[in-house]
Structure 1
Amino acid sequence: MLEEAVTYPPHDGYPLFLTAKRYWIPEFDIYAEDPEAWTLILLHSTASHKESWEPTLERLFHCAGRDKSVKIREAWCLDCPNHGASGHLNERALQTPEYYLNCGYYALYCITQPMPSSPVTCDKYAEAIYHFLVASPDHGAKVDFRKRRLYGIGHSLGGNTMSLLQTMEPRIQFDSITIVDPMLSPAGSHHLNKLRAILIKGAYERRDVWPDRVTAMKALKRRDRTKKWDPRILDVFIKHGIRPHPGSYYLENPYLGVTLACTRDQEAAMYRDPEGATKPVKSLDIACREKPIHLVLGGIHDFMPQRTHEALLDKKSGRVFASTTIIEESGHLVPLEVPDILGEVLFANIRKSGDMLKPKERSKL
């Protein structure tokens, strides 16, 4: 699998850096000018990073290499502005009141109250991805995504964000999407209050500094949540999910080690987003009427309560999914725990969407 890193600096009044990676295999080169070939857009979850999709893409690309009925041009994975490489580049901006004011205090003690600042929330994540997708060549854009056949994929927060993108104006045309265990609660955000409190507490109690990457890897392998991850996910997290401690260059102290690319404050603030679990539902409802929407859920309810899945699948809601897949082997963190299974499911979904979107042949009289 080949890759190319892309960074867009702040532009058109947008104040943050945007980072992405393009992935493809040589077999896809034959589709470079094919308007029917898919360009995949993938969005990660809270506390993750764009490279977390690599094991899933490897399996998906393997399937596409064997089955020529599905034409994939390339895939683009994007960082949320306070995660991964973007979080590193935006470090100073994220310390300003617009993105940080009282973040830590309110995240700890005012779980259900509105935030007095404007941290990077689901809305801000969607805004960042939108800016990337509509960027012009004047700002170094390599691709005009508005001329591509787009397939969107998002996990957890990324699934919520992908849902919001479907109705942002002017519209970016996605022909189909798959959302993977989205953190949505159609019956109201209060159903996630307990989970939100647990996640915020966990974010602040999590170890976030290690003397080196080797020590960080040993710690992750012992931690209950991360020791369930696929070994390849652990490898890419150590490479891209942590970064040199800021003190190592601000204070010129090389002994301060490494730290999380998404800080604990920023992670906790995202869990507190008051509308993040409900606002995207309206966009998802609209999208379900316009295009094939596939839903993938983890079969183990380790994060999302079962009632939120039931509400999402409620036939009375009017939402009709093109397909629903339950991956029994995984909980909420599907791309991190079973990327090979997910890659095969995503490939099958893309193929289904292609079949559903084929022009209907007129019957011959």
Structure 2
Amino acid sequence: MSSLSADTFTFDPRPNYPLRTVAKRYRFTGFDASQDPNAVTLIFAHATGYHKECWEPTLQHLAHNGRLKIREAWSIDCPNHGDAAILNEKELLWGYDQYFGWVSDYGFILHCFLTGYGTGVDVDFSKHRLVGIGHSMGAISILTTPTFQPKVKYQALILVDPMLMAAPFEHDMGNFLSKGAQVRRDIWPSKAHAHQAFASRPAFKSWDPEVLRLYVEYGLRPLPTAQYPDKIEGVTLTCTKKQEVACYEDFNGRKIAYRYLKHACLVQPVHIIYGAINDYLKKEVHQDVIDVAADGRLASVQRVAGAGHLVVQMAPKGLADAIALALTRKEPLSKL
């Protein structure tokens, strides 16, 4: 049975972009697909408020699934999330605390990473068969990387419950995620206390236990921080509440992605994987994306049972099975 091994890299795109990021490269021990011409390299981008390690349970299930030939996988922090937020914490205090772009910031640093416009990662991704996989905000960021030059070439894109919607739906939805982030508790006496607090809340009870463990391990950091220089004990969020809100304030990025989706479908196969539970986004929103934004051009659409918008957190095995099916099945998949 294969297991994951991971190496951590700090990627510095300066002077092309002022913030750094941290990435992990995952390889499956037990087999070597590096010389297999059909093996793919997976590139993961996470949702707002999370971190690169949240994909690890999905990757473990992909390894056990065995249907997909994977050369290696990379998961990359948004520059104001996870380990990258710690690297950039002083820079993030000014200029990024009001607005952080899904395309202009996360999408652009992903582009720099994949095209070698920086130091710290000595890999020529142009020689890899890339599959971009993003969740929510990360889906928008990974989708729009080809809008920058030079072009990033993907074999396929997989958008996991992308935060895409037409203007009327966006107006009806409002910005409840931003309001929730503003009042969220963000200091705990220890990671153990935080884990206990999370596990007792209904929202977290639907999470996969390993994803929750990773959230506590990588989504929290010791105090003091640049945000809380006077707090000397306890832990706080690696992605601060201000930075999370700054991401939610980017309405333009998802509008760009909504308009771009049908064009992306002409360049490479684009698959969407939704959660079967319509908690954040109505089914009408999903259908509009399929019929209007994508103009009916999606390669496949699947729904993961037992998951809502937070598919990565709630159903990593179901998500892994859907990813493998999208990339290996020859005949068309049904559209919802």
Q: Do both proteins adopt the same fold according to a TM-score greater than 0.5, normalized to the shorter chain?
A: yes
1: CA distance, partners of 2:258 / 2:129: 24
Is contact 2:21–2:84 with CA below 8 Å preserved after alignment? Answer: yes
Asked if 1:18 corresponds to 2:15, the answer is no
AA partner of residue 210 (structure 1): W
The match for 2:179 is 201
Task: Give the structure 1 partner of residue 155 of structure 2.
Answer: 175
Query: How far has the Cα of 1:334 moved from its partner?
Result: 0.4
Residue 51 of structure 2 contacts residue 218 of structure 2 at CA under 8 Å; is this kept in 1? Answer: yes
Unaligned stretches of 5+ residues in structure 1: 104-117, 357-365
Aligned partner of 1:363 in structure 2 is: none
For each residue in 1:322-351, what CA deviation from the matched residue of structure 2 results, as whole angstroms up to 9, or x when unmatched?
A: 111012311100010000111111111121
| Matched residue SS, 1:311 | helix
Partner of 2:133: 153
* Distance 1:329-1:251 versus aligned 2 partners, 3 A rule: closer
**2-side partners of 1:316 and 1:144: how far apart?**
32
Matching residue of 2:116 = 135
- Identity fraction in percent: 37
Q: Distance in 2 between matches of 1:171 and 1:251?
A: 42
> How many angstroms apart in 2 are the aligned matches of 1:325 and 1:157?
19
User: What is the alpha-carbon distance in structure 2 between the residues aligned to residue 316 and residue 204 of structure 1?
Assistant: 31
Given the alignment of the two structures, is residue 339 of structure 1 paired with residue 328 of structure 2, yes or no? no
Going from structure 1 to structure 2, the CA distance change for 1:320 and 1:55 (only over 3 Å counts) comes to: same
Asked whether the 8 Å contact 1:9–1:18 carries over to 2, the reply is yes
Q: Give, in angstroms, the shift of residue 237 of structure 1.
A: 0.4
CA distance in 2, matches of 1:330, 1:46: 17
Offset of residue 251 of structure 1: 5.3
Indicate the structure with greater helix content. Answer: 1
Write the distance in 2 (CA, Å) between the matches of 1:316 and 1:79: 27
SS in 2 for 1:146: helix
Query: Offset of 1:317 from its aligned partner?
Result: 5.6
User: 2:181, 2:37 → 1: CA distance?
Assistant: 43
Number of the residue aligned with 2:254: 277
Taking a change above 3 Å as real, the CA distance of residues 11 and 306 of structure 1, as seen in their structure-2 partners, is: same
Q: Which runs of 5+ in 2 are unaligned?
A: none
Pair 1:192–1:147, CA change in 2 (3 A) = same
Cα distance in structure 2, aligned partners of 1:13 and 1:167: 16
1:23-74 deviation digits (Å, cap 9, x = unpaired): 1112342x2233431000011100010000000000011112xx4xx32101
For 2:259 and 2:48, how far apart are their aligned partners in 1? Answer: 21
Q: Secondary structure at the match of 1:25?
A: strand
Aligned residues: 329
Q: Distance in 1 between matches of 2:146 and 2:225?
A: 40
* 1:40–1:151 contact (8 Å) kept in structure 2: yes
Instruction: Please show how residues 29-68 of structure 1 align to structure 2 within 5 Å.
Output: 29=32, 31-64=33-66, 67=67
| SS of equivalent to 1:123 | helix
- Tell me the TM-score normalised to structure 1 length: 0.84
Tell me, yes or no, if the aligned pair for 1:81 and 1:90 is still in contact at 8 Å.
Answer: yes
The change in CA–CA distance for 1:335 and 1:282 in structure 2 (over 3 A counts) is same
8 Å Cα contact 2:111-2:145 kept in structure 1:
yes
1:222 to partner: Cα distance: 1.9
For 2:96, what is the secondary structure of its paired residue?
A: helix
Secondary structure class of the residue paired with 1:74: strand
1:99 is aligned to 2:77 = no
Residues 15, 42 of structure 1: alpha-carbon distance in 2 compared, 3 angstrom cutoff:
same
Instruction: Check whether the contact 2:136–2:160 (CA below 8 A) recurs between aligned residues.
Output: yes
Residues 1:294 and 1:316: Cα distance change in structure 2 (over 3 Å): closer
**2:71 corresponding residue in structure 1:** 73
1:9 counterpart letter in structure 2: D
Question: Shift of the alpha carbon at 1:194?
Answer: 4.8
Letter in 2 for 1:213: K
Correspondence list, 1:282-301, <5 A: 282-301=259-278
Match of 1:125 in 2: 106
> Contact between 1:28 and 1:73, CA under 8 Å: does it hold in 2?
no
TM-score (norm 2): 0.91
How much has 1:84 moved relative to structure 2?
0.4
Task: Look at both structures and tell me which one has the larger radius of gyration over its CA atoms.
Answer: 1
Q: Is the partner of 1:139 in helix, strand or coil?
A: coil
- Native 8 Å contact 1:166 1:172 kept in 2: yes
Contact 2:110 2:142 in 1 (8 A): no
Distance 1:211 1:195, change over 3 A: farther
